[in-house]
Structure 1
Amino acid sequence: MRVGSFNLASGRDASGRSVDAGALAAAVADLDVDVLALQEVDVDQPRSHRVHQPAVVAGALGATDWRFAPTLAGTPDPFASWSRLDPVLDQGSLTGPHYGIALVSRLPVRRWHVLHLDPGPLKLPLVAPDPRTGARRLWWFPDEPRAAVAAELDGLMVVATHLSFAAPTAARQLRRVHRWVAGLPGPVVVAGDLNLGGSLSALVTGGRRLVAERTWPAPDPKVQFDHVLSLHGARGRDPEVRQLDVGDHRLVAVTLGP
């Protein structure tokens, strides 16, 4: 079984603009992965052509099952607040723009599990254009709620997540995920943008990194934020780190087994 993780960045290409459904499907169509964790995923967002990105990626990979976990509702705007969601709650049939994480699988999923992760208190400084004037300025964005989605497969639990941009909060969230999976069938691997550089994720959990290579920023990586982390003894081989035509992180993938 080959497991991967990719920060989709709303499907943005090198120009910073989100691609349409066809270009998104083409960017991932040749990926040799059975299970793929996705972060920064848009659904029905004007900025990304109102594409249902989890469904497009799942279709391009030939995935038989997938789960989208929305953590924010609405359209991102410096002057408006998102509506924060608890992905554990039954969202029913979602309507309107949403944002979150997803997990897609070519393999049958016996059961899905979803965990809500509280945001941290810090704000992220970003320089971006002011939509009123076009001038670049400094914005302070609050941390957002996070989530973890677990797919219970035949003989393996794969957990997808995207943790806080603040390392102390990310470490707290990862410890929360670690406690959560202790009650789920194992072995367990966590795949995602953990926002913890290098070996920090392994130090926090006592787990093992199955891929150890820099992943961000995609054109010239300086640090590894993206991981496939074994928590309960799963071993990996043939690790891969790869730049795609979309996203600002590199894809990571590994084959699980002897």
Structure 2
Amino acid sequence: MYEVAVKAQTNPRPESRNTEATGQVDGELDPYLADGGVRQRRRGGRMGAEGKWRFAMVCSSNMNRSMEAHSLLGRAGLDVASYGTGTHVKLPGPSIHEPNVYDFGTPYGTIYDDLRRKDPDLSVLPLNAVFPLFYSVSASSVGSWYKRNGLLPMLKRNTSVKLAPQRWQDNAGDGVFDMVLTFEERVFDLVNEDMNNREPRLMKSVLIINMDVKDNHEEAGVGAKLALELCQKLQVVDGDWEEIIDDLMIAFEKQHKRKLAYNISFY
């Protein structure tokens, strides 16, 4: 089953009349359409300009999962951006406890050059090095496995998509999105927390979905394909997406055996 992530109520809701049907109180837009976290969008057709949705892919460092999805969705012609929610960008270093740390906004090309300059061998460390939980490689195969899962090819791919990793919490100037897809629960929570801390001004709804994807090269590729399929399904919805979102989520979960969680927030 799908999950609906409910955010904590931050504003008491005054008594209102007919808000669910019209989004108005005594002829005025009700600013409290959204108490309790799962907000009701004002009715009136599908999201996005002329039916085209604007998507955001979000992981922790805007390096692997979100960028793999950004690259694939972009090639498919979708309107997409990508972000991370961490305090800094972290990549494997000399040891698990010594990651390479960069500020968001540091160009991917600069990070690429820095890693090559520091130690060429770092370029063949696995993406999993930051996440020891996902280690599953024998000592005999570690050398060839590292080569197949290098950082430098990932960074080179990223340079072809955009200039630098961007932080979700700093993206207010990037405009609004129709759907945000996160790739782990912690990132999902941070995106919802950030949206909950923003003062709703436009009453423009945004659908926030989480699909857990392990942070390694293979899983990022699988996750990107699933992200593309999900986004394409949403983009072709005829009419109000909120009328079919539950059924769409359930069908997607059954088809792909992937658990999804979603929330609706407002700009």
Q: Check whether TM > 0.5.
A: no
Higher Cα Rg, which structure:
2
Q: What TM-score comes out, normalization by structure 2 length? A: 0.34
Task: Give the TM-score normalised by structure 1.
Answer: 0.35
Per chain length, whose mean CA-contact separation is higher, i.e. which structure has more relative contact order (CA < 8 Å, sep 6+)?
2
More strand by share: 1
